[in-house]
Amino acid sequence: MKIITPIIIAILITAGILTLSGKASKIGITISENSFINFQINYQLLLLSFALLSMISSYILNSESFKSILSVGNISAVGEELKIFGIKKGDSWLKTGISLSIFISLATATFMYFQLKGQTIDYGLLKTGLFWIIILSFTNSFSEEIIYRVGINGPLASILSPNKIFLVSALIFGIAHFQGVPNGIVGVILAGLLGYVLSKSVHETNGIFWAWLIHFLQDVIIIGSLYLMKSS
């Protein structure tokens, strides 16, 4: 039960997010004249509610690990090798975190560039939308790290081997992005790979700093691009 409980909770939360995300606008909060911003604000409130449920369950299941992981952690901790992401044995997470932040962001930016290419985009909109892009990216990345890293890594610490924890986090995180950007199987695979390395960072640094920062940067690029596409 100690193994299956946090996994079931994460799956149920994911199902709730996927089911209710399209109905987020029914919350009815209107702050901006921009419909995309209004939808995202309502969606983020929904996501934060699920993150709160995940925090409560994680604390109940393993309060000591919860308190430890929900911190910056040791951002210079030495990590284990992971060749697919270019991580060598003995590399510190200060080096790895900076490298991943740059290269994953470049990959995301390249993908979103081709989504924007050929469309009539008013980049001047960034002047008025940047504040909301930053806020929405912060809440989205924070909530998802609570659900898929703190909610998985915390309760399963010392119960499953690290690699199994990373795989569980990656699988559920990937499924959660079936409707994301990119969507479908490609989105699931890419999000799953990202989820694996983010879970690895949480385990090895004993904190969510690098997982959140890398995730946040991707959300800035994706949410910013979606804002431009839907507002131009």
Angstrom CA distances, 136 to 3, 18, 88, 217, stand at 32, 18, 34, 12
How far is it, in rounded angstroms, from Cα 4 to Cα 184? Answer: 26
Q: What's at 207, amino acid-wise?
A: G
* Banded pLDDT at 33 (limits 50, 70, 90): confident
Structure pTM?
0.94
DSSP letter for 147, please: I
Phi, psi of 198 (to 5 degrees): -70, -40
Locate the domains of the chain by residue range: 4-231
Q: In the chain, what percentage of residues exceed pLDDT 90?
A: 76
Q: Which of 199, 205, 206 is nearest to 78 (CA)?
A: 205
Helices (H) and strands (E) in the chain, counts: 9, 0
Spatial distance between the Cα atoms of 126 and 85, rounded to a whole number of angstroms: 32
pLDDT tens, 106-141? Answer: 999 999 999 888 888 888 888 889 999 999 999 999
- The mean pLDDT value of the chain amounts to 93
Exposure class string for 73-93: b at 16+ Cβ within 10 A, else e: bebebebeebeebebeeebbb
Angle at 136 between CA 135 and CA 139, to 5 degrees: 85
Q: What is the pLDDT of residue 108?
A: 96
The single-letter code of the amino acid at 55 is M
